[in-house]
Each structure stands twice: as structure tokens, then as C-alpha cells.
Amino acid sequence: MAKSTTGKISGFTKALIGINKELTEEEVRLLKDICIMSELLGEDELQSVTTAMSLFRALHVSQENTVILEELLLNIERADLISKYLIATTTDKLPPVATKQLESRSTDISCIDMKDEVSSGLGLREPGGTESSRYPADITVVGKSTPFRASPTREDRPTASDASPDFTPDEEKHELRDYQKELAQPALEGNNTIICAPTGCGKTITAAEICKHHHDNHHDSKKFKALFIVNIRHLTSQQRKAFETHFDMRDLGALKEMETLDAVLQIKKVVMITAQILVNALERNDVELSFFDMLIFDECHHTTLNHPYNTIMRNYLLKKKEGSSRLPFILGLSASLGVGEDGDAAKHIVTLCANMNVNCVSHVRENLQDLEDHVRTPEDDKICIVNPRPSNDKFRNIIVDIMNDLEAMHVGDSRHEKGTQEYENWIIQRRMDAEKLHDRQETVIAGYLLSFNNALVLYDNTRAIDAIGLLDGYFNEKRSIAKEHIAPEADLREDYEVNHESKLRDIAKKETTNDCPMLKKLTELLQMIFKRKHESKGIILCRTRQIVQSITDFLKQEEALKRYNIRPDYLVGQGKAENTMNETDQAKVLKRFKDEKINILVATDIAQEGLDMPACNVVIRYNFVSNEIGTVQSRGRARASGKCYLIVERGSRNEKHEYGNREKVIRMNEALVQVDHKSNEEFKEEVRIRQNELIKEYEDELSKKKETQMLDRASDVEVLCKECSQFFCYASDLRENGSNITCVLPVFKEKIREIKQGKQVYRTTDTIGYIKCAKYNCGQQLGILITYKGITDVKGYGLKAQSLKFHNPKKVLNSTWTLKKWKKRTFKIELWEP
């Protein structure tokens, strides 16, 4: 018989039970939030946590390790629970320093009043009723490292395997290499600077050194606030890791989905953030640029046109013209600055500097040998030109004939070759025109033509079976128009299923890898690479998510590659469309790639710029050519004495574009030399003149926007379904809450169908499904079904602007129009607090 394990409850367990009873639900919720912000626990780990006791178990709190628990209780101003339950049983178990600090703080909490510090020193707006107001004024969130430690030890610092791509073992010692010191020097002297240096050379670590220098020289380092601004959300966590070499981990933050910017700024000195979050915060007047001491722009070459980076800097320049006495220091990082739209590289550099309020472009001039010794460039960078599929290709000709017939009957002949980007642009425009004219027939047929064009693009790059799969997805999905109600659609589907589908599938069954020149070349390259080096590791860059998925499937199935133990997986960006990946899934794939469970990563351009990638010995761009910056950055991914290849079709647009890019790279490097030959005063004057021109353009643009933004009275504008023209409401019935636009008209719910699905939890809303037009012959998806969080949750909607159209009967010209984004609207939408 098994022995009974029942015994007396320990004094420590009784203490935990007592604490559990005394903490309120709100305090438990606050503790969970602090654990997320401090990265003690992840959101997934906290999903099952409902009580303080379950939180203690998740944190593995024991009598031998109570320091984290005590810090958490101090953070929510419950030091009384420490003195009541823990001191008597745990003081003798704590290290001397912890014991002394605990005793002093348990009776008289003397934390810095961060709320007052931020609001007085940085001008932060009072949070009011926002979630941030739930945090005590003196909150000092515990970090992952042991509490009370002033700075991370060597063991806490990121290693070469888990830090950013710019991190290397030498930098664990905080010692910059000679070329990095050269790159940092202008910024250390107080000059707004763009650092232009190759991928893998340590730009992020150099930025951390500069940021720490400005922090240490601040008149009050406790009030120092800096933002590291990235273009891709996934970059926030990896850049924070790089900064752990210079800052206490508890001073660093990366904004998460459940957090507000103003709340994080109250407890962190350096926050990693995406550009759009800052743009939104500036538009809502949650923060002002004068709040910050330093802005660091990763991949700063994006600071052009209407990119969020440039939106931020336009705000900066306008503040500068107004005479603002306090504006943040600017640091930009980039591997390549580009040559601009007109190809004038020297002029582009001046414009970029003007946009960023920078007078210095720092690149390695004196320590070139040191740079060369530490940053390897690919041994080979080859363009592999293959012949396109033959002109008499049966599969292609069947689809082209279908498209020709549809054009002749419904939309008119296209002058563009089918299966090209030009054709895609043309048919999308035809569909948009048809939507404006309420021509449902042409709208539907244009959608099918676009699908056939996408299938041709996929077929040219991959296999026939992949193209058929794409068409199957389009034909089998729940169409927004029921086929029995649109005669041309019914005829199209019947013709395809009866006369063409079986022929296409027969061709696909007989197809071999050699029938696709692109796949044949890819197979040959991989065979050569893995034959020479069995432990090879590489990235294959593709233009679309569909191609990424198809190439991944091909690599798993291709018999000729199975002997080489190729282990592929894919990586694509985030979004609401199909075949996207969320941040968690991206992180999992990247970890598997680092751990060598994957040795070939097939990816869209998300892998080309910024993301933390382990050193690879091969990068293959699979018929993927972006711009001259992409050409440079893709080379930087092959950092282990590797090779770069581009596979393109002979005579294609991509082939010509790549040769043009390589010529632009040469001009870009020459332009940097031209800048070097100018005196500081001469270059500053050029930037000043260009900056004044840009500010004038921005002011004119703002003035014009104000004149045209609210041309329509909301009560006059009808909101209609873009597909079937059903009237939903007037624009005056719309309300704005955060990033969501909803309709508050009670009868609106009778005009839609709600489809419930798995809940997605966000900071102020939960997505619980989506909505469609309820008209019997429609079904257009209109947006998401959500609950707005508050004292009581309120159900509402997140309407998609692109699923609607707008009509003002009082206008003679352009009385009906569509929107791609709500921000482009011509009428006012009132704010709404549910």
C-alpha cells in the first residue's frame, strides 16, 4: 500500500495562502500585467492564471527564492503583506543585501515617484482613465534578472547566438572595434548622424554605445527617455537584447500588444517601438517629440515620402520651425541609403539628411581593414539566368485562352501580357472602376481574371499543381456573389469545370521538375551547395507568400533533394490576409532556424531587412528583385563565407532591374565619396536649403489637406456595401474608437451577418469574429466583430473602409467614391467611448 503523503502545511505555504486571500482581483490582474511587462512570464503562460496562488506557482516561488514575490508586492504597494506574512519566515533565507533593502522598504517605501518624474520632466499627459492609470505612481517593475542587481552580469548579456544580427562576441565586453568607434564618433560629439555600414558590422551595438553616452551625460539620467524605432514589429525584442550590453535590463522595454506607450515610458528609459505606434500616439496627442531625449531609426533609409518614419520626422521639422527649444537627438542606421526615385544618389543623400535633420553621414573611411577583417562579404554574387517556359506551353495556353474569352465578353482586351505585374495592375484598376459604377458583373469577372493571372505567375515560378491549388482556393471559397444570381459567373465556373479543369490536372500529373526551368535551377544550386558542405544553411527569398509556400512544399517533396537532408520551413509577414504569420509563429520559426532544426528558410522580403538571422552560407533570391537597397541587404545575409545567387528568367523585367540595381549601388557608393569631399559647412548648407524646401512642401500639403479633408457633411454621405450597394447607414452614424470605426445605428445589425470564431485578445478590444453583408445575393465581408473593453464590455464592429463605398447625392461630380483607408475620408467621424 502506498504511503500517505498527507502532512502538515508548511509555514511558508500558509504565508502564500494568506497573501492569496488578501489580494483583490484587481491587484492580481495588476501583478499579471507587471509580469508581462517585466518578461517574468509570457502571455501564454498567464492564460491559465486566475488567482494569486496560481501566479505564485507559475513563478516557481519557494521559501528559498522569495525576492521576486517581494518585489512584485512592493510594486503594487502591498508591503504590508511582506511584513505580515513573509519577513518572519524568509528574512533568514535572503542574501544580506536583499534583507537590508527589504527591511527598509517594507516599512517605508521610498521608490522614485515615476509618474511625477515623467509628467514634470517630460511633459507626459496624465493617463486619466487609460489602463496605465492602474499602475501605482511609484511602480518599479521587476526585471528578469535577480532584483536589486544594478546592471546585468556577463551571464545575463546576450550571446552571439541570441542577440541581434549586429551582435558579436567581442561586444560582450562593451568594447567597440576600431571601425565601430569611427562610426560612433560624430554622434558622440553631439551631431545628429546617419550611420551607414554593412549588415553584420554591429550598427545596433554602436547605437547602444551612443545611447549610453547620451544617457550618462544627461543632466538627470533618471529622466532620460529614448525610442529605438523599427520598421517591423518583430525587431523590437531583438534590438532590446542588443542594448542589454549597455543598459540594465529593467531600463529597457519593447512595447507589447497589451501595453500602452505612456505606461511603458513611465517605467523604462529606452523603449523599442514600431514607427506606426509612435505615429498614432503623436496623432492622439498622447506624447510629444519633446518628451524624448533621443530617437534611433533602424533602417533609416525608409525616411522618405509617406513612410511612418517620415511622418514622425515631418512632425519634428515643423516643431523645429516653430522654434521648439527641446527636440530629441537623432540617430539613423542603415546598410544602404539608396539613390532615390530619380536615380540622383548625391541629391538623395541630401534629401534623406534633410528629412532626418542630420548633417553627418558616418561610414567607415579610416578603419577599412578592421571592417574587412570582421565583416565578411559573400565570395560569389551571381545572376543565374534561365530560359522561360516555352511559348507553346499547354498549361499556360489553356489559362490564357480562358482569360482572353472573359476579356472579350466582359471587360475589353488588355494590352498587357498575362501573368505579369502590369496585367495585375490593369485588372485591379478595372475592378475598382467597376465598383464605382456599381457594375457587379464586371467586378466579379475582374476578380476571376486576377485569380487566373496570379495562377500564371505562380506557374511560371513553381509547379502546375501549385497554380491549380491557387485556383481551387478561389473557386471553392465562399464567393461573395452566389453563382446562381450572376449568370456570367455561373457560365464561367461551368466552362472551367467541364472543359478545362481536367486538362490542367492531367498536365500537372505528368509534369517533372525539369519542366520548370526556375525549379530545375534551384534544385541544381541546392545540390551543389549541400554536396560541397553538408551542414549548409541558407535563405531563399521570394516575392509573394504563395510562392514561398509552394517552394517550401516543393523542397519537402522533391526526390532529388531528399538525400541531402534539407529541412525547410517558411517565414512570412504579419497581416489579416491568408498565409500570414503572427509574431509568435515568426519567433518560433526563427528559433528553429538558429537551433539548426531548419537549414533552409524560405521567406518573403521580411527576411531581407533587419530580422535577427543566424549567419548563412547561401542566400538565393528566387526571381525576387526589389531595389538597390534590397540588393545590398540580401548580400549581407550571407555572412559565413557564403554565396549569393539570383535566379531570373532571360529577358525578364527582373533581369534588367537587377543589372540596374547593381549600377545604382556603384553610384550610391560614389555619392558617399562625394559627400566626404565637401566641407562640413558646404554640406550643412545644402541640407539646410533642402530642408527649408521640404518644410514648405509639408506646410502646403497640410494646408491643402485641411481644405479638402472635410468636403462632405457626414449626414449627407450614404455608407453602402461596395459589392451590392445595400444602404447601411449615414456617415454621421459612424463612430471612431482607437483604430476601429463602428456603426451605432441599431438597425445596422439587421443588415449584416455575424460569424463567430476564436477570440483574439488585444489591449482595448477582443476580436470575436467577422461580419458580412446580409443581403441574400451578396455576402461581402465588411470587417471584424469585436467587444470594446470597459466597465462593461460592449459589442461593436471594426468596419473595413475598402469593403464599403460612399455616396453623396448632393454632389454633381464624383458623387460615389471608395476609400483604401479611413484616414482618407472626406467627412468627420465622431469619437466614441462605449
The arrangement of strands across the sheet holding 830-831 comes to: 740-743, 734-737, 830-831
How far apart (Å, rounded) are the C-alpha atoms in residues 658 and 610? 21
Which three cell numbers mark 605? Answer: 522580403
pLDDT of residue 721: 92
Runs of H (alpha helix) within 76-234: 79-81, 87-90, 96-107, 114-121, 178-188, 203-216
- Confidence band of 90 (pLDDT split at 50, 70, 90): very low
The 3-state DSSP class for residue 730 equals strand
Q: Higher-confidence residue: 236 or 93?
A: 236
pLDDT band at 237 (very low <50, low <70, confident <90, very high): low
- Residue 36 scores a pLDDT above 70: yes
How is 681-705 classified by DSSP, letter by letter?
Answer: HHHHHHHHHHHHHHHHHHHHHHHHH
As a whole number, mean pLDDT of residues 175-196 equals 95
* pLDDT tens-digit series, residues 402-437: 999 999 999 888 889 999 989 999 999 998 888 877
Half-sphere exposure of 454 (CA within 13 A, CB side): 21
Buried b / exposed e over 609-631, threshold 16 CB at 10 Å, is bbbbbbebbbbbbbbbbbbbbbb
CA 790 to chain centre: 28
What is the DSSP annotation of 606-622? GGTTT------SEEEEE
User: Which grid coordinates belong to 484?
Assistant: 446562381
Residue 96, pLDDT > 50, answer no
Q: Is 701 exposed, middle or buried (0-12, 13-18, 19+ CB in 10 A)?
A: exposed
Query: Residues 765-797: pLDDT tens digits?
Result: 788 889 999 887 787 889 999 988 765 678 889
Which of 370-384, 469-483, 518-532 shows the lowest mean pLDDT across its residues? 469-483
Residue range 727-754, pLDDT digits in tens: 999 999 999 887 789 999 999 999 999 9
For residue 710, pLDDT over 70 is answered with no
Residue of higher predicted confidence among 170 and 440: 440
Task: State the pLDDT confidence band at 115, using cuts at 50, 70 and 90.
Answer: very low
Q: How many residues does the chain have?
A: 834
- Whether the per-residue pLDDT at 574 is higher than 90: the answer is no
Q: pLDDT tier at 617 (50, 70, 90 boundaries)?
A: confident
Q: What average pLDDT does the segment 180-203 reach?
A: 93
Query: What is the SS3 assignment for 326?
Result: coil
Report pLDDT for 794: 81
For residues 498 and 12, the model is more confident at: 498
Instruction: Kindly report, residue by residue over 272-326, the tens digit of the pLDDT.
Output: 998 988 998 888 788 899 999 999 999 899 999 889 999 999 999 999 999 887 8
Higher pLDDT, 154 or 417: 417
* Helices and strands in the chain, H and E counts: 29, 24
The model's pTM: 0.66
| Region 638-654 average pLDDT | 80
Between 435 and 648, the higher pLDDT residue = 648
Residue 649 backbone phi and psi in degrees, to 5? -80, 145
| Rounded mean pLDDT, 495-499 | 93
Tell me, what's the pLDDT at 56?
83
Please state, in angstroms and rounded to a whole number, the distance separating the CA atoms of residues 633 and 222.
37
C-alpha cell belonging to residue 258:
497589451
